[in-house]
Amino acid sequence: MRLSAIKSKVMGNKTLLNGSLFSLFSFFNQGVGFVLLILLAEYIAPAEYGSLSMFNTVVTFLGFFIAMSTQGFLAISYFKRGSEHFKQDVSAISLISLISFVVLGVAIALLHRQLSQWLHLPTVFLFATVAIAFFHLFFDMRLNYLRVQEKVTRYGLWSCTFALISFALSLYLVIGRRLDWEGRAYANLICSIAFGVLAIGCFLRERLFTFKVSADTFKTVLYWGVPLIPHLASVWIKQGGDRLIINEQHSLADVGLFSFALNLTSIIIMIGSAFNATNSVSIYKTLSSGESAHDIRSKLKRQTRDIAIIYLIAYVCIVLGASLLTPLLLPRYAESIPYFLILSLQGLGQCFYFLYSNYLFYYHRNKQLMFVTFATSVLHLALSLLLTRYSLIYTCCIYVFVQIILVYSLYKLSRKALTDNLKTS
């Protein structure tokens, strides 16, 4: 095939083209953050790296409850509900987030001594985690809104600007001001508040907020989102729980090495998430197109094939690159490579999880998704409590084993969802 023909095919494949652009921008929003941690690893010892990991784990955990996991409904609402309903949904999600922000802030104020001692984090950083989770939510909602509109350029501008400012500020605070891991936490706080406020301002300017929010809207949004709390928390149960177990049964330095391996794995997951950002939009548009069941299935089959090839290519490149470069550039973290080589398989599995979960989101089968993900996370935690004490290699193998069960289960559920909702032509 001639180069011009290949170029024409690539440019004509909107999923591939937009996926590539979203992937590039995701590198700036998520990937640059990872590269930043690689650079800062030279100035942050493994033990302090473990403290930063614990801080990020708390931020992630609180993020499940800030909006009661309703923020993902924005994409579904955009395609399935009218303009007025969409505004009500955005307003309902925002109000739920504000109430949760206040409740969580009060809870930390009352329990900060116990939490600080248990998590090994100063009290000021406990309050910072709530602020980051709240304001970053609106930044994520802004990105999600631009994504479903397929405004790739604006999405990239927001994403890249956030990443560059966070990158520069983190380097200044950690290296210039010698604030160690706390400098990175402060940079995250400052950027999240700034861009969160900007996102709220944009929503106000675009008149996406309304005071006319019906009780049914809150019910619909919460009914969709609340079942996802255990689903989303399953990641925290696995990773956050493992970090606590490793810290208890090994050392904080081991937490740092294991967290570094997870961060390397997150590059694979980040690629999957970036391409899923546009692939999910394509899936939703295909499912709502009104075409025949045969045509819909054919389109979905082609999309699945294309995205699977992209995932496999990215997986091979990242595994080879990380395995060769880490010992050369960061010899202190070379011990994490054996962990990464096993965990990378879990990262590949997570990419396919993104693919199959889209169907369950679209057909509002969140409870099924919740049961599967939460059950597998409990299995993971039980195995980790049993085996992590012996070796972290066992912990890595647990990730892969549980991910295989999860992906297979979602594959079966997604096929059933399609069968139940698409009439045979």
User: 387 Cβ partners below 8 Å, 6+ apart?
Assistant: 394, 395, 398
**What's the alpha-carbon Rg for the chain, to the nearest Å?**
21
Amino acid 18: pLDDT: 65
With cut-offs at 50, 70 and 90, classify the pLDDT of residue 423. Answer: low
Residue with tokens 């930043």: 36
Confidence of residue 5 (pLDDT cuts 50, 70, 90): very low
pLDDT tens column, 307-364: 888 889 989 999 998 888 888 877 777 888 888 999 999 999 999 998 888 888 888 8
pLDDT at 196: 97
Closest CA to 217 of 363, 78, 91: 91
The stretch 20-47 carries a mean pLDDT of 70
| Lowest-pLDDT choice from 216-225, 244-253, 338-347 | 244-253
CB pairs under 8 A, 24+ apart, for 402-406?
402/238, 402/376, 402/377, 403/345, 403/346, 403/349, 403/350, 403/353, 404/349, 405/376, 405/379, 406/349, 406/353, 406/372, 406/373, 406/376
Mean pLDDT of 116-126: 87
b/e map of 108-131 (b: 16 or more CB within 10 Å)? beeebeebbeebebeeebbbbbbb
Percent of the chain with pLDDT over 90: 28
Specify the range with the lowest mean pLDDT, choosing from 72-76, 94-98, 233-237, 320-324: 233-237
Question: DSSP secondary-structure letter at 172?
Answer: I
Nearest to 386 by CA among 396, 375, 374, 394: 394
pLDDT at res. 7: 46
The end-to-end CA distance of the chain, in Å, is 35
* Residue 132, both tokens: 């980051």
Nearest to residue 266, comparing CAs of 22, 19, 32, 1?
32
Q: What is the mean pLDDT of residues 363-380?
A: 86
The mean pLDDT of 263-292, rounded to a whole number, is 81
**Which string of DSSP letters, residue by residue, matches 47-114?**
HHHHHHHHHHHHHHHHHHHHSTT-TTHHHHHHHHS-HHHHHHHHHHHHHHHHHHHHHHHHHHHHHHHH
Q: Note the helical H segments in 288-336.
A: 293-329
Tens of pLDDT along 159-174?
Answer: 889 988 998 999 999 8
Rounded Cα–Cα distance for residues 47 and 54 (Å): 11
* pLDDT the model gives residue 260: 82
Mean of the per-residue pLDDT values of the chain: 83
Of the candidate ranges 52-56, 102-106, 276-280, the one whose mean pLDDT is the lowest: 276-280
Dihedral of CA atoms 267, 269, 273, 274 in degrees, nearest 10, equals: 20
pLDDT bucket at 102, cuts 50 / 70 / 90: very high
Question: Do residues 378 and 364 make contact, with C-beta atoms less than 8 angstroms apart?
Answer: no
| pLDDT above 50 for 425 | no
What is the dihedral angle through the alpha carbons of 42, 48, 53, 58, rounded to the nearest 10 degrees? -150
pLDDT value for 160: 87
Rounded distance between C-alpha atoms, residue 184 and residue 167, angstroms: 9
C-beta atoms surrounding 212 within 10 Å? 9
- Give the single-character DSSP code of 27: I
CA distances (Å), origin 37, targets 1, 171, 257, 263: 41, 10, 13, 9
> Would you place residue 3 in the very low, low, confident or very high pLDDT band (cuts 50, 70, 90)?
very low
